[in-house]
Amino acid sequence: MKRTIVAGLVSIALASPVLAQESVEVLHWWTSGGEAAALGVLKKDLEGQGVKWNDMPVAGGGGEAAMTALRARVTAGNPPTSVQMLGFDIQDWAKQGALGDLNALAQKENWDKTVPLALQQFSKYQGKWVAAPVNIHSTNWVWANKAVLDKAGVTTMPTDFDGFLAALDKVQKAGFVGLAHGGQAWQEATVFDGVVLATGGVDFYRKAFINKDKAALGSDTMKKSFDRMAALRKYVDKDFSNRDWNLASAMVIEGKAGFQIMGDWAKGEFLNAKKVPGKDFLCFRVPGTQGMVSFNADQFGMFKVGAGSQAAQTKLASAIMNPSFQSAFNVVKGSVPARTDVSDKAFDDCGKKGMKDLAEANSKGTLVGSMAHGHAVPASVKNGFYDVITQHFNGKLDSAAAVKAMVAAAE
């Protein structure tokens, strides 16, 4: 409102109403090329609706650094509008009362009917939707460079663990790095998800990682899993320490290495480098885990924000849950939709396989939450497992000691 004094009279001129532009601030760890491309799909969607996007990226796969940054913001009483979150982290924040209530939108859009129950157990807290799931990833995948395998004489993809070691051996002997790997705890844990599934199967994985069963954690099967980690370690190059996961993917993309064991976000890197599945690169399940899927889902936790920010927050949640957005986004990200009603038509062969594997595993009871990515146990236990797995990988614990340490970490 503008007041002007004209010839002794006070006239009140109404300034033309300037509406503040709606905005969202989003904290996430999507900083690699493929991840940024996928995030761009969401940004563009929101900007198309007139909502300004304030980006808060915190690098570091698995989201540990992001959760630390988030803690500081919440402690200061100034949470972002929305945060990329994994499984139990959502529940931890909901327990602390930091998350909002999306039930009105969820009811209007029928989320209960379209989001798989395996995700709903993390998206909802005490009956309230607190997060919007954007995708389903899976960790038990291997990514391979086809030309490297051709040169090394690996003609068929291994279907069991020993076959995988034999293929790694051939690749290494042909002068390439066998296994591209980044030495960070969450990456070692990602490899371990697949190795434990291959070694003990789904029931064992559940007992050990979801039920924290001491007999399973302390078993010979767990020891064998660690021995297999040590076997894989021999095919990793000497510069692996602290390498980012996307740089390990780049080694496969550029034909320096044969294989990488990594979640299907790796596919986003291959696509971003204009590589074609089946022609330039291959995707297959960690040998010995066909028919099993260890999943994680990125969800956007919606924080309690002031009345002025709620409309934009609702727009963000609704955009994330839109079926055509879920197709467009996940085609780029490497993941599959977090809804059961999205067609696989736009997806490449790896994506189609991902969707089919997921549906089958869900109906057969062979779908398990990824330990490495926060869907088996809460961060308090997960971080203990991380320590043991990474110390063992770096030769600081032998397999027998690692098994004992896993039991202790579960306590």
Pairing of strands 137-138, 367-369: unpaired
Contact of 351 with 344, CB cutoff 8 Å: yes
Told to check if 182 binds ligand BGC by CB under 6 A, we report no
Closer by beta carbon to ligand BGC, 63 or else 354: 63
Closer by beta carbon to ligand BGC, 63 or else 351: 63
- Of 45, 62, 226, 409, the one binding ligand BGC (CB under 6 A) is 62
Task: Name the nearest CA neighbour of 26 among 62, 60, 70, 88.
Answer: 70
Told to check if 63 binds ligand BGC by CB under 6 A, we report yes
- Of 46, 51, 61, 313, the one binding ligand BGC (CB under 6 A) is 61
- Of 24, 26, 27, 35, the one binding ligand BGC (CB under 6 A) is 35
DSSP-assigned letters across all residues of 207-256: IIIIS--HHHHTSHHHHHHHHHHHHHHTTB-TT-BT--HHHHHHHHHTTS
Closer by beta carbon to ligand BGC, 129 or else 245: 245
Q: Which two tokens stand for residue 154?
A: 């690996």
Torsion of CA 368, 370, 375, 380, to 10 degrees: 130
Closer by beta carbon to ligand BGC, 83 or else 171: 83
- Of 67, 89, 111, 137, the one binding ligand BGC (CB under 6 A) is 137
Q: Which stretch binds ligand BGC (CB under 6 A): 57-65, 216-224, 234-242, 342-350?
A: 57-65
Told to check if 351 binds ligand BGC by CB under 6 A, we report no
Q: Give the separation between CA 203 and CA 213, rounded to whole angstroms.
A: 11
Pairing of strands 293-296, 367-369: parallel
Q: Which two tokens stand for residue 96?
A: 């602390």
* Angle, in degrees to the nearest 10, between helices 220-233 and 185-205: 140
Contact of 226 with 396, CB cutoff 8 Å: no
Query: What minimum distance in Å lies between the beta carbon of 32 and ligand BGC?
Result: 7
Query: What minimum distance in Å lies between the beta carbon of 276 and ligand BGC?
Result: 21
Closer by beta carbon to ligand BGC, 176 or else 329: 329
Which residues are bridge partners to 358 per DSSP? none
Question: Residue type for 257, please?
Answer: A
Query: What minimum distance in Å lies between the beta carbon of 347 and ligand BGC?
Result: 17
Tokens 């900083």 locate to 31
- Of 298, 315, 361, 407, the one binding ligand BGC (CB under 6 A) is 298
Told to check if 265 binds ligand BGC by CB under 6 A, we report yes
Count CB-CB contacts under 10 A for residue 80.
20
Query: What minimum distance in Å lies between the beta carbon of 371 and ligand BGC?
Result: 12
Pairing of strands 23-28, 52-57: parallel
Closer by beta carbon to ligand BGC, 25 or else 298: 298
Told to check if 373 binds ligand BGC by CB under 6 A, we report yes
> What is residue 297's three-state secondary structure?
coil
The end-to-end CA distance of the chain, in Å, is: 63
| Cα radius of gyration rounded to whole Å, the chain | 23
Q: Give the separation between CA 33 and CA 39, rounded to whole angstroms.
A: 10
Closer by beta carbon to ligand BGC, 204 or else 245: 245
Q: Which stretch binds ligand BGC (CB under 6 A): 56-64, 87-95, 159-167, 319-327?
A: 56-64
Q: Which stretch binds ligand BGC (CB under 6 A): 58-66, 153-161, 217-225, 282-290?
A: 58-66
Told to check if 339 binds ligand BGC by CB under 6 A, we report no
Q: Which residues bind ligand BGC (CB under 6 A)?
A: 29, 35, 61-63, 86, 137, 245, 265, 296, 298, 373
